[in-house]
Amino acid sequence: MAEQFSAASISQVLLVGGVRLLDAAIVIGAGLGAHEYAFPGSPAIAWPYLAAMTASVVLLAIFAQAADAYHVVAFRSLGGQVGRLLGAWTLVFAGFAVIGAFFDFGGMVARNWLGFWFVFGAGGFIFSRACLVVMVQRWARDGRLGRKAVIVGGGEPAADLIRALESTPGNDVNICGVFDDRSNDRSPAIVAGYPKLGNIAELVEFGRLAKIDLLIVTIPVSAKGRVAEILKTLWVLPVDIRLSAHTDKLRFRPRAYSYLGAIPMVELAEKPIQNWDFVAKRAFDLIVGTLALIFLAPLMIGAAIAIKLDTKGPVLPPKRYGFNNEVISIFKFRSMKHEMADPDAKVVVTKGDPRVTRVGRFIRKTSIDELPQLFNVLKGELSLVGPRPHAVNAHTSQRLWNDVVDGYFARHKVKPGVTGWAQINGWRGEIDDNEKLRKRVDHDLYYIENWSILFDAVILAKTPFALTKSENAY
């Protein structure tokens, strides 16, 4: 069942923002193309033309917004959105005509350029919107256009919520099913046409496989004990969690609510680093990661040669927990003797460990062995900064780390990082007691809750200095 919803959702915030940027690019591109067409071979474009294009980007954004040209519903049909957008584009030039009627600019821009610019821009808008309609309709058929949601808690409250959502105009929530701990005699197997797919514990695995965006809890606010227990189980998922308040007798101040359409919700947990924050972090990873890879390439080549000269054998990529608890293979320089390699980290590396080679001891202490993970960053599996990716069998005193710390897997609500807040605060290297693990997890969760690009930059800047404190790194 989860495989039916495994395709990632298309963020409507990013979709609308991307369309706005595309329109701005069309305006500028059409203006430059019109200038080249009107004045072939012209060495440079004068500042009045650049000023006109800049002003038109702003005016088009205002007029198109007023015409509702940036609603996802409008993106599904060609006629409506093209009419709105061309109307806004026409208003831009009407504005230029009105301004020109009151002020004499002395022919600072050529009239034939304005005509070509209008035609080229209109053609660009029609073509781009035709392509957009095709893509949006395909995404809608695949169920990717909107947020995939699961209802937590069945019965009549869940049925009321589902009916309210389905009757909300412009609703972007696609319901996948219902999860409830109660038996069928207390919670029906079918709720408002949607099946009950399992209990709350099974929802965690379903949410990871199905790439759920939103969990809506329909249990009354007054049952705070049950709500708290459910939240303790589900908060490890990288999703928005909201408590439905549309039928609850308790009433909070209006500012305490968020809304799905007109349906009031209380936010219990928010998905970290989403929409434009995600784009900014990914751009930061690609730009800084590429520069770091170029700058550190000689060091990595030297380390690879030293490892080959020290011991023979292939490299076995270790397995680590990645985003949303998915297992990934990471790139890492081999620091152990081949015949004693332990890619699954079944035995913790300790001080003076005989499995570690001479070169391996140095590159582990200086974290040079981690540098190949920059390739994982460029692939999108890791981030430059984030909770460090722990081994799948990582344990202390024969207990797996997820059994030692409650909510351990909440570290995986964001991509793991090559470096992190815990590491620059001294929590790196061997973890030989439970308190060290708790400190590391606490720092990871602090990072997730307080993330910003500036925070990432600060952590990166402090990382080289943190590597000098290597008491626990063997």
- List, for the chain, all residue ranges whose pLDDT scores fall below the cut of 50: 250
Single-letter amino acid, residue 29: G
**Three-class secondary structure of residue 148 per DSSP:** strand
Q: Which of 242, 269, 296 is the last residue of a domain?
A: 269
Based on the domain organization, do 381 and 307 belong to the same domain?
yes
Angle between helices 276-310 and 453-466 (to 10 degrees): 20
Based on the domain organization, do 325 and 265 belong to the same domain?
no
Based on the domain organization, do 167 and 251 belong to the same domain?
yes
Q: Which of 84, 111, 141 is the last residue of a domain?
A: 141
Tell me how far apart the alpha carbons of residues 464 and 58 are, in angstroms, rounded to a whole number.
44
> Residue 472 falls within a domain, yes or no?
no
Based on the domain organization, do 255 and 292 belong to the same domain?
no
Based on the domain organization, do 117 and 83 belong to the same domain?
yes
Q: Which of 141, 159, 175 is the last residue of a domain?
A: 141
Tell me how far apart the alpha carbons of residues 18 and 139 are, in angstroms, rounded to a whole number.
16
Based on the domain organization, do 202 and 223 belong to the same domain?
yes
In the numeric block, which tokens belong to residue 54? 């800049």
Range of the domain at 114: 7-141
Question: What global pTM score does this model have?
Answer: 0.81
Strand ranges in 245-370 using DSSP code E only, listed in sequence order? 258-260, 263-269, 319-321, 327-329
> Residue 471 falls within a domain, yes or no?
no
pLDDT at position 329 is 85
pLDDT at position 471 is 61
> Residue 1 falls within a domain, yes or no?
no
Based on the domain organization, do 331 and 258 belong to the same domain?
no
Q: Quick one: which of 374, 368, 379, 370 has its CA closest to 293?
A: 374
Angle between helices 111-141 and 12-38 (to 10 degrees): 150
Structurally, the chain folds into a number of domains equal to 3
CB atoms near residue 422 (< 10 Å): 23
Based on the domain organization, do 300 and 339 belong to the same domain?
yes
> Residue 311 falls within a domain, yes or no?
yes
Tell me how far apart the alpha carbons of residues 258 and 244 are, in angstroms, rounded to a whole number.
10
Based on the domain organization, do 156 and 127 belong to the same domain?
no
pLDDT at position 248 is 54
Based on the domain organization, do 322 and 456 belong to the same domain?
yes
> Residue 473 falls within a domain, yes or no?
no
Instruction: Judge whether 366 and 359 are in contact, CB under 8 Å.
Output: no
> Residue 185 falls within a domain, yes or no?
yes
Based on the domain organization, do 289 and 367 belong to the same domain?
yes
In the numeric block, which tokens belong to residue 459? 């952590």
Based on the domain organization, do 446 and 299 belong to the same domain?
yes
pLDDT at position 433 is 67
Instruction: Judge whether 439 and 264 are in contact, CB under 8 Å.
Output: no
> Residue 152 falls within a domain, yes or no?
yes
Tell me how far apart the alpha carbons of residues 358 and 365 are, in angstroms, rounded to a whole number.
11
pLDDT at position 451 is 92
> Residue 350 falls within a domain, yes or no?
yes
Q: Quick one: which of 224, 225, 259 has its CA closest to 242?
A: 259
pLDDT at position 317 is 67
Instruction: Give the CATH number of the domain where residue 229 resides.
Output: 3.40.50.720
Tell me how far apart the alpha carbons of residues 225 and 244 are, in angstroms, rounded to a whole number.
16
